[in-house]
Amino acid sequence: MTDIKTYAPSFRLDGRVALVTGASRGIGFGLAHALAEVGARVAVCARDERALASLEADIPGSFAVAMDASRVESIQAAVARVEEHFGTIDILVNNAGLGANHPALEVSEQDWDEMMNVNLKGSFFCAQAVARGMVQRGYGRIVNMSSQASVVGIVDHAVYCASKGGINQLTRVMALEWSKHGVTVNAVAPTFIYTPGTAERLDDPDYRENVLRRIPARQIGDISDVAGAVIYLASDAAKLVTGSLLVVDGGWTAQ
């Protein structure tokens, strides 16, 4: 009798605990939902404490915790609460982010600090706080939310592009340092995704057409496009993938 070996890896996350930052709306909310749908127990972190109760009701089996991703103290306290509640964190999705932008000549110091504090500093310290436990336990999957704007310039997005380019470099270095401990670190780089953060711009027909013209697939992304990439990178199917940037951009950056 021949042994039947399967070559198809599993994308299920049963038994895993995932922490998603910026989960109150948009991509973060959708990712938290999607991770629960494939079996993970999810800690949903949000800055807005009023959102916490409804988040737990909306996402089966979830645990909602307040976290201001721009403040290291708040990040560390939230991570400790999640570890206490679930006993572990196997997956981190570093999603919280700001997208407001200005022409480079008009960027103030405050604009710079607000965006960098959430997008870059927050992502770094959240990964650091979660990775301490992951390294000790010898297992972890970290997925950082980058953007196509990390590899191409976008007019009026100087600070955003810089913050996401920084995410790509953090991803590589954290991967180099932690992969020997069973912790993979990767980033996902979506094109424009329709969310509350982009709806106003994408509802403007001229803006939308200008965006579509640059996407060879001629499609604005939706949250499930990002979820596919995140679930893959969080799963055992991607155990040998680390330090990579998975672009989900309909071909924008291939040009």
Ligand X SMILES: NC(=O)c1ccc[n+]([C@@H]2O[C@H](COP(=O)([O-])OP(=O)(O)OC[C@H]3O[C@@H](n4cnc5c(N)ncnc54)[C@H](O)[C@@H]3O)[C@@H](O)[C@H]2O)c1
Can you say whether the dihedral through the CA atoms of 99, 243, 151, 213 is positive or negative? Answer: negative
The CA distance from 202 to 99, in Å, is 13
Look up 160 and say whether it is catalytic: yes
Distance in angstroms (rounded) separating the CA atoms of residues 133 and 140 = 9
**Looking at beta carbons only, is 136 or 169 nearer to ligand X?**
169
Q: Does 68 bind ligand X (CB under 6 A)?
A: yes
Q: Is 165 in the site for ligand X (CB under 6 A)?
A: no
59 lies in the site for ligand X, by CB under 6 A: no
| Contact set for ligand X, span 21-40 (CB under 6 A) | 22, 24-28
Q: Does residue 93 bind ligand X (CB under 6 A)? A: no
> Looking at 32, 34, 193, 245, which residue binds ligand X (CB under 6 A)?
193
**Are the CB atoms for 35 and 231 separated by under 8 Å?**
yes
CA distance 81 to 64: 10
Spot the catalytic one: 7, 160, 194, 232. 160
- 140-145 β-sheet, strand order: 63-66, 41-46, 17-20, 91-94, 140-145, 183-190, 245-248
Query: Among 67-75, 134-142, 151-159, 204-212, which window interacts with ligand X (CB under 6 A)?
Result: 67-75
Q: How far is CA 109 from CA 69, 116, 123, 156, 171, in A?
A: 19, 11, 20, 16, 26
Closer to ligand X by Cβ: residue 181 or 208: 208
| Residue 190 in the binding site for ligand X (CB under 6 A) | yes
Looking at the Cβ atoms of 72 and 135, the one nearer to ligand X is 72
> Applying CB under 6 A, which residues contact ligand X?
22, 24-28, 47, 67-70, 95-99, 118, 145, 147, 190, 192-193, 195-198
Active site residue ranges = 160
